[in-house]
Amino acid sequence: MFKFLFLLHRKGKWNFFISVLLLGCLFGSIPFAYNSLHSSKVALSESIHKYSRGSYDILVRHPEARSDIEQKKGIVEENYLTGGIGGISLAQYKKITDIPDVEVAAPVSVLGFFTNDSGGIKVELPSVKENTWVTSIKISNETGLPDSYKQVLDTHVVNIPLSDPPIMPNRSMGFMEEDGKKFINFTLPTNYNLLVAVDPEQEDKLTAQKMNITDRLGTEKSTKLPPSIPLLINEDSDVSMQALFEVRKSTKSEEEWKQQFRQMKDLSEVNKFLEHDLKNPPILKEKFDLSKELQPFRISRLDLDQKGNLQKTFGGINSSLDTSVYYLTDRLNYEEAGKGENYDFLLKPKDGKYRPLIKKEMAVRGGLPEERSFDYQITGTYSGKSIGNSDLDPSPLGIYSFSPVYLVLDQDGNKQNIELKKDLTPDTFLPIQASAITNLSNIELLKGETPIDAIRVRVKDIGGYDSQTEAKIKKVAKSIYELTGLHTDIVAGASKKQMHVKIPETSDFPNVGIVKEIWTTLGVAASITKSMDYVSLFIMLSLFLLTAVFAVVHTRSLLTVRRKEYSVLLGIGWTMRDLKKMLALEWGIKLVGGLSLSVLVLIFLHQSVSIAWESVLYIQFIIVIWIFASIWYQLFKINKQDVQVGVEKEWKKKHVALSSVFGLAWGNFKSQLAYTGYIVLSLAASLGTILFLLNMLFGTRKNVQTTFLGEAVNLNMFGFHLFILVALVVLILFNLFEHAAGLIGKRKNEIVILNRVGWTNRSIRKLLFIEFSLTYFLGFSISLFLGLGVFRIFYTDFPIPIYVQILCMAIFMSIFLLIGFYYLLLKINKLNKLSPYNCVKS
C-alpha cells in the first residue's frame, strides 16, 4: 500500500505538497495565534500594571467639589483644585491616616491668590550733550493666543540737553541721578500668587521630593503680632512677560521740544508729539524675557544700562505685602459638546469671565481686617516641573506643573499648534499651578473648620495595578467613605487623555477657538481590559470556526476530485475497509508532514512570541481529530452513493457551443454547487472573519487609544494582532491554490472534450476564469454580509466607513483572484503543455 501511495502521489506531487503545506499552516497558525493572544494578554496586563498606578490610588473630596461633567463622564480636568471650597476637616483627615492599609494620605488646601508688587526696573538714560534722545519702554504679556498681546506699560522718556528732569508722560515713574548719571524707575505689574497648604511629611512620600517647610508658627491668635507662615516657593512658577527697550535720536530741535513742552496742558500729550520720531528706526533695540526674573512673593530689582544690559540687583522678600486681602476663583464650568461637534467640551464663562476673582478679607485678630493678617518667611524652593507627572502617570496632582495647553483651531477655523503661556491674572482658562506651598499649621485660622479641599491616598503594599490590587484599593475607598462620608474616586487604573475644549471669547480674550488639554479619565484600565478580552474571545472563536471550515473544505475537495479514483479501486475488488486503510495511511503521512512543518515554524517564531507547547499539542490534537472525522464522514457518503465508473452528466451540443461560454459557465457553476459550495463557504468564512476582526481591532484600538494608557497598550499589542491577520491571509491563499488545483483536477476530462469539439485554449481559460470568478464573487458577497452584519450586532458605529471597507476588500479580492487565476493558468499549461508565458499571453 505504501508503494501504491508513492506511485499515486509521485504524479500529483504538487497537490500532495500543497495539502501538506495547508495542514502545516492550520497546525501552526491556530496555536501560534492562540499563543499570540496569550502574549498580548500578558503585554496588556504588564502595561496596565506598569502605567495604571501613579503617585496615589484614591482621591478624596467633599461630594459638592465634583463638577457636573466629572459626575456624568468620569473625567477630571488637571485644574480641579482651583476652586478651593474646602469641605474636609482635620478630624476627618486624621481618621483616614489611621486606616491600617493607608500608606500615604496627602491633604491639599487651596488658601487663595495673594498679590504682591513684582518690583521695578531702573533704566539709565542716554548721556545728553547736543542731541535730544527718546527712550521707549514697553512691558507686555502674551499668552500665545491670537490678539492676546497685552501692553502692560508703554511709556517714553524725552531727554533734552540742559533739561532737568527729562520729560516723562507717566507721572508714576521716578527720576534720580547718581554719579552724574540719570535714571528713571518704573514698577512692574502686580503678580497673583496661588498659595496652597500641604502636609510636608505626606507630600515627601507622595512626590519623592524633600518638602522642607520649617514650621515657624509660634504666635497665637490672641497675640499682638501676626502669625508667621513658612513658604516653599515654586521656582518654575513664571508669567509670560517681555520688556522692549528702544532708544531713538529725535529729529526735533531743542527749541521745538521746549516750545512744545510749554504748550502742553498734560504730560500725556507728549505721545502725540512723538509720533514722527517713533517711526524712525531705533539706534538701540533690546528685548528681554522677564518671566524668570519675577518670582512669587518676592520683589525683583532690575537695572538696565545705556547699552541694553539687564542685571538683577535684588530678589528679596516683599516685607510690605498686604496679606489681609486675597482672592478666590470659581472652578471652571464646562458643558458637554453636542453630537457632530469637533470638540469635546464647551467652556462656559460667568459674567464675562472664565474664572471671576472673588475678593476676600482675612480677619484674624479681634475680628477686624488687618493690613498684615500674617507674615511669611521663605524657607526654600521646589521644582514644580520635576514633580509634574508624565502622560502615562494617571494621577492628577492638581497643584504642581501641568501638561501644556495648545491652541489647535482659532476662531476663524484656521489650524494652529501654539503652546499657550500663563496670563497675568487668574481669570484665565489655563491651568494654574501653585506659586508656593506652606504647611497645615494654623490652617483653620486661615480657612475655617473644614479647610482641606482634597486628600490623595496611596494604599500600602501595592507594587502595580491588577485585579487583586484593584479589590484592595476598593476596600480602602469603602472604609474611607464609611468613616468620613466623603466622596472617593479611584484614580488607580485611570489614564490621561487629550480633550478638545472650545473657548468662547471674552473681553480679555477676544479671539480664542479650540484648545487641546490633558484630562484624567477614571476607570480606563478596567474598560481596556474588558475590550481586549472581547477581542481575544472573538478572535479565538473565529479561528476555531475557520479551522473547522477549512478542514471540511480541504477533505471534501480532495475526496470529490478523486471520487472516480476511489470508484475504480472499488470496481477492481477493493473493499471499503481497504480504501479507509489507504486514506488513513495517506492522511497520516500528510498530517505528520504538516505537524513537522508547523513545529519547525513555531520553533522559529518562538523568538518573537512566547509559546506554551502544551497548548500547541492540545490544539493540534483537536484539529487532527476533526480532520479524521471529516474524512470518515466523506467516505461514508461515498459508500452510500455507490458511485460507478464513467457516470457523467449528459452532454448536449448546445452545452459546448462556442457562443455559449457564459451560459456554460453558469450551468457548470450550478451543477458543481455541491463542490463549489464548500469553497464559497470557506471564502465567506475566512474573508468575513478578516473583515469582522479588522473592524473589531480598529474599533477597539480607536476607542482605547483615546487615552495615553490605551496608546501604550495598542503599541505593545500591535505585533500580536498583526501576526493573527497574517495567518488568516495565508490560510486564504492556500484555499485559493487548492480551489484552482481542484477545479482543474475535477474538470480534466471536460477540458479534453472541449478541445476535441473545437474550443480554443483561450475559450477554455475564459470559461474557467468565469467559473472561478463566480465562486469568489459569491464568497466575497457573503463575506461582506457576514463580516459587517455580525459586527453591527455588537457595535453601533463602524471605525472605517463602509464604502471604504468594500472598496479595500474588492481590491484585496481582485489581487487574490488574479493570483489564483495565474495559478489556474499554470495548471492548464501543464495539461496543454504550453509555456507559462504563452499561456498568459494567449
d(CA 283, CA 356): 43
β-pairing, 58-61 vs 454-459, is antiparallel
* Rg of the chain taking only CA atoms, in angstroms: 41
The predicted pLDDT at position 434 comes to 86
Number of domains in the chain: 2
Whether 359 shows a pLDDT value over 60: the answer reads yes
**488 and 342, same domain (yes or no):** yes
Buried/exposed code over 271-301 (b: 16+ C-beta within 10 A; e: otherwise) = eebbeebeeeebeeeeebebeebbbbbbbbb
Average pLDDT of the residues of the chain: 75
Last residue of a domain, one of 446, 466, 492: 492
590 or 50: which leads in pLDDT: 590
With CA atoms as reference, report the closest residue to 300 among 117, 119, 115: 119
**32 and 65, same domain (yes or no):** no
Residue-wise pLDDT tens digits, 200-248: 888 888 877 777 776 544 444 444 556 678 888 888 776 778 888 888 8
- Helices assigned H by DSSP within 338-390: 384-387
- Residues facing 521 on adjacent strands: 75, 495
With CA atoms as reference, report the closest residue to 167 among 67, 39, 34, 263: 263
pLDDT band at 375 (very low <50, low <70, confident <90, very high): confident
Buried/exposed code over 250-269 (b: 16+ C-beta within 10 A; e: otherwise) = bebebeebbebbeeeeeeee
504 within a domain of the structure (yes/no)? no
d(CA 167, CA 738): 98
Q: What domain range is 121 assigned to?
A: 54-492
Residue-wise pLDDT tens digits, 396-408: 666 776 778 899 9
One-letter amino acid of 615: S
346 or 683: which leads in pLDDT: 346
The predicted pLDDT at position 834 comes to 45
Residue-wise pLDDT tens digits, 167-177: 655 545 667 77
d(CA 726, CA 530): 25
Q: What is the arithmetic mean of pLDDT over 489-508? A: 83
With CA atoms as reference, report the closest residue to 647 among 554, 745, 739, 571: 571
DSSP code for 269:
G
d(CA 444, CA 496): 33
The predicted pLDDT at position 617 comes to 82
Most confident of 264-278, 500-514, 633-647, 751-765: 500-514
Q: Are 373 and 327 in contact (CB under 8 A)?
A: no
Whether 338 shows a pLDDT value over 90: the answer reads no
**210 and 254, same domain (yes or no):** yes
Where in 30-84 does DSSP place strands (E)?
58-61, 75-77
d(CA 544, CA 552): 12
The predicted pLDDT at position 218 comes to 42
**79 and 11, same domain (yes or no):** no
500 within a domain of the structure (yes/no)? no
816 within a domain of the structure (yes/no)? yes
Q: Are 700 and 531 in contact (CB under 8 A)?
A: yes
**810 and 775, same domain (yes or no):** yes
Last residue of a domain, one of 470, 492, 514: 492
Q: What is the arithmetic mean of pLDDT over 452-457? A: 90
**642 and 754, same domain (yes or no):** yes
Residue-wise pLDDT tens digits, 577-612: 777 777 777 777 878 888 888 888 778 777 666 777
The predicted pLDDT at position 97 comes to 93
β-pairing, 513-521 vs 357-361, is unpaired
**267 and 229, same domain (yes or no):** yes
Q: Residue 126, preceding bond cis, omega within 30 degrees? A: no
Residue-wise pLDDT tens digits, 237-262: 767 788 888 888 888 877 777 777 77
- Maximum Cα–Cα distance across the chain: 136
Note the pTM of the prediction, 2 decimals: 0.68
Whether 683 shows a pLDDT value over 60: the answer reads yes
Helix (H) or strand (E) holding 133: strand 133-141
pLDDT band at 82 (very low <50, low <70, confident <90, very high): low
With CA atoms as reference, report the closest residue to 168 among 127, 139, 137: 137
**571 and 609, same domain (yes or no):** yes
Whether 735 shows a pLDDT value over 50: the answer reads yes
497 within a domain of the structure (yes/no)? no
Range of lowest pLDDT (19-33, 295-309, 404-418, 696-710): 696-710
Q: Are 105 and 88 in contact (CB under 8 A)?
A: no
Residue-wise pLDDT tens digits, 649-660: 444 444 444 456
The predicted pLDDT at position 381 comes to 83
Last residue of a domain, one of 492, 512, 546: 492
**17 and 77, same domain (yes or no):** no
**486 and 578, same domain (yes or no):** no
**Of all residues in the chain, what percent carry a pLDDT higher than 70?**
74
Whether 136 shows a pLDDT value over 60: the answer reads yes
The predicted pLDDT at position 373 comes to 60
The three-state secondary structure class of 103 is strand
Most confident of 136-140, 217-221, 441-445, 539-543: 136-140
